[in-house]
A and B are shown apart, each in its own frame.
Chain A
């Protein structure tokens, strides 16, 4: 009997309060403005300029995306101010892209912003970070005639697929992880607006909190391969050193990397072995590929070329004293005591590497 009373009590409480407390209820979906992108520029006096892009339901609005921007010092304050400007309450539950202007990134304020958003539990983890060459507001309020929905466009740009695996697709978690870890350095894709098109042209490199340089997507691809990405985007190879071969194009690349260190931070040495399997899709040159000897030789040529590229990339990173690959992780694994940023720097600059690339061409398509 008591159980029944409790049951009725539960039900009645649910029934009554479910209907009654109208004042307290959350605004429901149609009263919310779901911001999908958020950008930060540096204002004239060093303050932040926040821009927010809110996609509107497809049919009932003349513009596909509303864009607001405001000068503010605090993010939440800015959101509240913008909410009063727009007729709806701006929420970040569906935020997808976070843009920073290059200037902003170089000033080292990114971490502050990201850390604030990382604390916010309404934000998901699929928020991608982007560095924009010029003004963020320009990018967000731009008119992209081909892709009328700016947000969908931005979103698609940062969805991992086979042709853009050079990009690190840095999410909020990735950013915080690499920023706070003493081993890794942060990489963020670098976006450029050219007329009506947005394009990831480079990858920005961070040292600590500040952006310091950009590298080409080709180099970034190799960094991705070294840090363990399995499926790579196509590689085009232009030969310089020999007369016979000119260009080759590789697709459907599977890569596998094996890094082993000598466990010593005093005289750090690593052996990097990169195994690549690919399909040779296009080839320009004078070799007769039906001949297996020639075929093997071409394989060797590409091999040498890739090895050189990898070494170039590593050398560049060494000069910059940066370690986005996480090679020092292979030393930290065996290091007793607290690993510090200085150790990473030391290991990276003293590093002695031995690169082997092992390329295997699976086939050359269906034509002989």
Chain B
């Protein structure tokens, strides 16, 4: 038994930052093997060299009893230092991972006015610490997995042992173990690989970078998946309606929270039907609007040479381009482009009689509405959905829109998140869910875990047999 150091040397050949350092101690001449890119000099000195010279290294390290080469290699790639004692032919492993990592910052994509502002970072350890310092409870359990056939990314599945549904947990673990993908840059890739309906435009898992979101999900019996090097964590299962819930709803007073929440939810439907309705009314149903409004519309449309469909498409695409350009540009330029582009192009297009000014208003409002959902993927979805409705309206007016609506609703009804139905409010699950739906009742009443989590906690009334 025992692996000669040459075997390791040949494995690590061609990796310039692999260091083989010879150190002479009183008894032996030991070899330290590590990646200099992952191990800081100071840490190395503190953790390995000093204990070595004092002869107490065995206390702070792990003896690899039956070394095999792959275990050693994975220890080194993880950032540990492997210490080789040639005389005894023993390998010791010391965790010296000390690559620089970013500090905890304020969340950018899911900012709120009130409430905690910390965001997850791209270090798994830090992210775990952000959750663990909020839930100081032994019931918070975790399972670790290594996925990614090339990247060997570490994934942690977190759940509350006393609340979370074990079936759900099994499904999640099964899904993660069956993932076969070379590499993961972000948890969203894992999320997409776990989808039941990969062709759907809707997100089927919630991704957040707010620890408070993750914690409240855990307490509700959901399962949270963290991934190393990714600042988003996955929450599952979720329902359609929850994509419109912001953690701020729970920090606000209940009436305000209910109002804002309803605006967000109905805003989603408004943003997808606003400009399509403009097309329908102008092309097929001029009788629907009051006469005065129609006369104004007629006047503003008088010199526009395109059909309403083309006009709307043109303006919607301009908005998309502005938004995309703004997000690709450096922040400082981006802001100016956004405002200048919006105003200049808008007014110029009306002046040049390319579009009617009523449409500018509608497009602007629906663009704003599309940014209401706290989940950014959802806001992207709403923009995509709008084009389906625009074409449907262009073809058949309101009838087309209604058919598109039927499609949308039916699609949402068949979607599942972790094999649980997605449209929980429509498919009745638990009456206590209603307390935290369009109206968020005062915190005193929100005692129950939600139906979709199928939690095992006693606090929850029995779940309607559904799936």
Contact = CB atoms under 8 A, between A and B. Distances in A.
A and B touch in the complex (CB under 8 A): yes
Interface of A: 3-4, 7, 10-11, 14-15, 17-19, 22, 25-26, 28-30, 32, 34, 36, 55-60, 91, 93-94, 96, 122, 124, 151-152, 155
A11 B292 CA distance: 36
B395 A18 contact: yes
Contact of A18 (B199, B394, B411): B394
A29 B298 contact: yes
A30 B306 CA distance: 11
Contact of B297 (A15, A29, A36): A29
B291 A57 contact: no
Contact of B286 (A11, A17, A34, A57): A34
Given A11-B388, A14-B388, A57-B295, A26 B283 contact: yes
Contacts of B302: 30, 57, 60
Nearest to B297: A29
A91 B294 CA distance: 13
Given A25-B307, A91-B286, A59 B400 contact: no
Interface of B: 199, 281-287, 291-292, 294-299, 301-302, 304, 307-309, 388, 391-392, 394-395, 400, 404, 407, 411, 414
B309 A4 contact: no
Contacts of B282: 28-29
Q: Which of B286, B297, B411 has the most CB of A within 10 A?
A: B286
B307 A30 contact: no
B299 A57 contact: yes
Nearest to B299: A57
A10 B295 CA distance: 35
A211 to B, nearest CB: 28
A351 B404 CA distance: 60
Contacts of B299: 57-60
11 contacts: A3-B414, A7-B407, A11-B388, A14-B400, A18-B392, A19-B309, A25-B307, A29-B282, A56-B295, A59-B299, A151-B291
Contacts of B296: 57-58
Given A7-B199, A7-B411, A28-B301, A18 B295 contact: no
Given A14-B395, A18-B391, A57-B298, A94 B308 contact: no
A151 B295 CA distance: 12
Contacts of A19: 309, 391, 394
A253 B28 CA distance: 113
Nearest to A121: B287
Contact of A30 (B292, B301, B309, B400): B301
Contacts of A60: 299, 302
A10 B281 CA distance: 23
A58 B296 CA distance: 8
A14 B295 contact: no
Nearest to A95: B287
Given A14-B388, A28-B301, A93 B286 contact: yes
B373 to A, nearest CB: 22
A32 B302 CA distance: 11
A122 B287 contact: yes
Given A14-B395, A18-B309, A60-B302, A26 B294 contact: no
A32 B286 contact: yes
B298 A30 contact: yes
A148 B321 CA distance: 44
Nearest to B289: A94
Contacts of B400: 14
B417 to A, nearest CB: 17
A18 B397 CA distance: 11
Contacts of A152: 292
Q: Which of B199, B283, B285, B298 has the most CB of A within 10 A?
A: B298
A93 B307 contact: no
A26 B287 CA distance: 14
Nearest to A1: B199
Contacts of B286: 29, 32, 34, 91, 93-94
A57 B395 CA distance: 27
A75 B302 CA distance: 28
B298 A14 contact: no
A14 B391 contact: yes
A3 B414 CA distance: 10
Nearest to B198: A4
Nearest to A32: B286
A120 to B, nearest CB: 11
A18 B283 CA distance: 13
A111 to B, nearest CB: 24
Contact of A28 (B291, B308, B407, B414): B308
Contacts of A93: 285-287
Given A14-B395, A29-B282, A57-B295, A4 B388 contact: no
B84 to A, nearest CB: 54
A297 B281 CA distance: 60
A29 B301 contact: yes
Contacts of B307: 22, 25, 28
Contacts of B394: 18-19
B291 A14 contact: no
A60 B297 CA distance: 13
A55 B301 contact: no
